[in-house]
Amino acid sequence: MGFCLVNNVAVAARYAQIERGLGRIAVVDFDVHHGNGTEDIFRGDGSVLYVSLHQWPFYPGTGGPGTSDDSTLNLPLPAGSRDVEYLSAFRDAVEPAVAAFEPDLVLVSAGFDAHVEDPLALMEVTTEGFRELARRCASLGPRVAAVLEGGYNLDTLPDLVATALEGFSG
C-alpha cells in the first residue's frame, strides 16, 4: 500500500524457517494499522500465525470483524482505545491464540503509532502501555524478536522505543 517496500517481518519469518530450520512462527503486530501485506503473504499458511491489533475502521480498511481464520487473528479496536483495551485484548485473545499455536519463534511488528500523541491515528496507548505490551510479547514464545514499524511523532518516538526495549528485555 506504499508505506513499506519490503515486508521485513515476513522476510524474517521465511529466513527463520528456511535458513534456521524453525517450524512455526507467530507474528504479533501491534502497529495501529492492519498489516494487510503480512496477512496476504501468510493467509492459508498453517506454519505462520498472524495476529494483528489495529484501529478499525481505519486505513487501509482491511482487518475488520469476521476476517479471522486458521492462520489470521484480526483484533479490530475502536478509535480511542487505551492501555486497558489493548491489554485486555492481549490477555483474552492474543496470549491464548499464540500459546495454542506453540510457536518456535515470535516476531513482533512493533509499531508505535497507537501512542496517544501520534498524529496519524486516534488511539490513546501510553508510553507505559507500550512497556507492558512489549513485556507481554517477550513471554509469548521461546524466542522473540521485534521489528520497528510505524510511529510518526518524532519527538516521542525515541523514548517510546527505549521504553519498549526495556519491556522486551524484562
Q: Give the orientation angle of helix 157-168 with respect to helix 127-138, to 10 degrees.
A: 30
Judged by CB under 5 A, does residue 31 bind Zn ion?
yes
Query: 99-126 as b/e, with b when 16 or more CB fall inside 10 Å?
Result: eebebbbbbbbbbbbbbbebebbebbbb
Site string for Zn ion, 92-111 (x = CB under 5 A): -------------------x
Judged by CB under 5 A, does residue 150 bind Zn ion?
yes
**Number of residues counted as binding Zn ion (CB under 5 A):** 6
Site string for Zn ion, 33-72 (x = CB under 5 A): x---------------------------------------
Calpha distance 26→147 (Å, rounded): 13
The letter for the amino acid at 107 is: L
Q: Which is nearer to Zn ion, 111 or 167 (CB)?
A: 111
Judged by CB under 5 A, does residue 118 bind Zn ion?
no
Cell of 89: 485484548
- The candidate with the shortest Cα–Cα distance to 40, out of 75, 78, 9, is 9
Q: Which is nearer to Zn ion, 103 or 111 (CB)?
A: 111
Q: Which is nearer to Zn ion, 103 or 150 (CB)?
A: 150
Q: Minimum distance from CB of 149 to Zn ion (Å)?
A: 6
Q: Which is nearer to Zn ion, 141 or 150 (CB)?
A: 150
- Long-range CB pairs of 56-60 (<8 Å, 24+ gap) are 58/32, 58/33, 58/34, 58/121, 58/122, 59/33, 60/1, 60/33, 60/34, 60/36
Q: Minimum distance from CB of 108 to Zn ion (Å)?
A: 14
Judged by CB under 5 A, does residue 141 bind Zn ion?
no
Q: Give residues in contact with Zn ion (CB under 5 A).
A: 31-33, 111, 113, 150
